[in-house]
Amino acid sequence: MNSIQHIFQEKDKNLLSIFFTAGFPKLDQTQQIISELENSGVDFIEVGLPYSDPLADGPTIQHSSAIALDNGMNLDITFKQLAAIKETNKTPLVLMGYLNQLLKYGEDAFCKKVKEVGIDTVILPDLPMVEYENHYKALFAKYGITNVFLITPNTSEERIRKIDSLTEAFIYVVASASITGAKGEISKQQIDYFNRIKTMNLKSKLIVGFGISDNKTFSTACEYANGAIIGSAFIKMLDKDGVNGIHDFIKMVKNN
């Protein structure tokens, strides 16, 4: 059982995950951000690998990636920072990046490093399902790593059920067909989409992302899924208030 599966065993409702870009706002703040998030009661943390062409990300996260890269962040530094906090951090981490980063680093070298720093779940939005089935499923299994697939309002029922059959951690329910970014509120169209997924009675846990920004949107998403991920709104807060604003931000989202 991996760390995310263990979290779901302990708690399967109202899970809060936070996404941040490693190396943003400052190169050396990755460990501090993880520690602050853990102390604030976040259930799991999604660490984004800064990338020059993040296709799934909106302007806010693209900006954070650009800043992180300008700061000098790369995969080796990210892994070094994650290794440094491995022994003290008890909150599960998920690594989010892109297939080209894995390929450039080397498939086995990447997977080995991921496992060495204590991470066992990855999100690669541009990993084709056929490539996963034909190659990466076995490669990830070799290193004890699970992969998270994304679904959108445009994903067919056939594909959703296929993803459900391949899922070991959770399905990332993208709240809209667009890129990431805080939208302010959840629309009726999105509610209909969430209801459609919920009534499919999938075996997998569901985590909603894209457009979740505050207590209202978080609470609404949790009515239809096991939890939600907040990314762009958190990045904006970091950009404005820095690490010192983390506790109040999480308190606002959880409304406690």
The pLDDT, as a whole number, for residue 55 is 63
**Active-site pick, 36, 43, 57, 120:** 57
Residue 46 falls in the annotated catalytic set: yes
5, 169 contact by CB (below 8 A): yes
> What structural domains does the chain harbor?
3-254 (3.20.20.70)
Question: Which candidate in 10, 12, 38, 46 is catalytic?
Answer: 46
Q: Distance between CA 236 and CA 218 in Å, rounded?
A: 17
What is the rounded CA–CA span in Å between residue 63 and residue 68? Answer: 9
CA angle, residues 27, 56, 105, in degrees to nearest 5:
55
Residue with tokens 């989409």: 193
Structure tokens that stand for 214 in this block: 């505050």
Q: Residue 137: is its pLDDT beyond 90?
A: yes
Determine the Cα–Cα distance for residues 208 and 226; give it in Å rounded to an integer: 8
Average pLDDT over residues 127-153: 97
Chain-wide mean pLDDT for the chain? 93
The answer to whether 57 is a known catalytic residue is yes
Residue 180: what pLDDT?
47
> Average of pLDDT values for 151-177?
94
Query: pLDDT band for position 56 (50/70/90)?
Result: low
pLDDT band at 80 (very low <50, low <70, confident <90, very high): very high
This prediction's pTM: 0.94
When pLDDT is averaged across residues 59-75 and rounded to a whole number, the result is 94
> Residue 181 has what pLDDT?
44
Helix (H) or strand (E) holding 20: strand 15-21
The pLDDT, as a whole number, for residue 211 is 86
Q: What whole-number distance in Å separates Cα of residue 116 and Cα of residue 148? A: 19
